[in-house]
Amino acid sequence: MEFPDELKYSKEHIWVRIEHGTGVIGITDFAQEELGIISGVELPDEGDEVEQDDAVGSVEGHKTVASLYAPFSGTVQSVNHEAIDTPELLNDDPYDGAWLIEITLDDPDELKGLMSAEDYADYIENRD
């Protein structure tokens, strides 16, 4: 499994890439493996306000449906419509082509609860 070092990770298996005051988010390699073949993605609308830890969408795999939780508060700036139209992209490339939403970052302090790639790998290895 791959966990790029430049990203931050949540316990809910969301990755975050900060770019110019916004956070691009998606699901981790671990999450897509756990879900199996991804068959559906529901995402918020552009302009929606989201609060940290609120459910903001879902990803459906052949094994289960997983809720997407906002890793920080802000406004949805853009949505990856290609991931909605072709959800199996999340299985092929969960980190680049299959990002899900971009959210403005209201409070940078909310990022302090996210994990490094190394910490996330440890978290996955020791979960139960």
Strands (E), the chain: 8-9, 14-19, 22-27, 38-42, 49-50, 55-61, 65-69, 74-79, 101-104
**Mean pLDDT value across the chain:** 93
| Domain range summary for the chain, segments of one domain joined by + | 10-114
Whether the predicted pLDDT of 103 surpasses 80: yes
The architecture (CATH level 2) of 10-114 comes to Beta Barrel (2.40)
Name the strands in the sheet holding 74-79, side by side, starting at the edge strand that comes first in the sequence.
Answer: 8-9, 14-19, 22-27, 101-104, 74-79, 49-50
Amino acid 28: pLDDT: 95
Widest Cα–Cα separation across the chain: 37
pTM over 0.85: yes
> Could you report the per-residue pLDDT of 53-95, keeping only the tens digit for each?
999 999 999 878 999 999 999 999 999 999 999 999 999 989 9
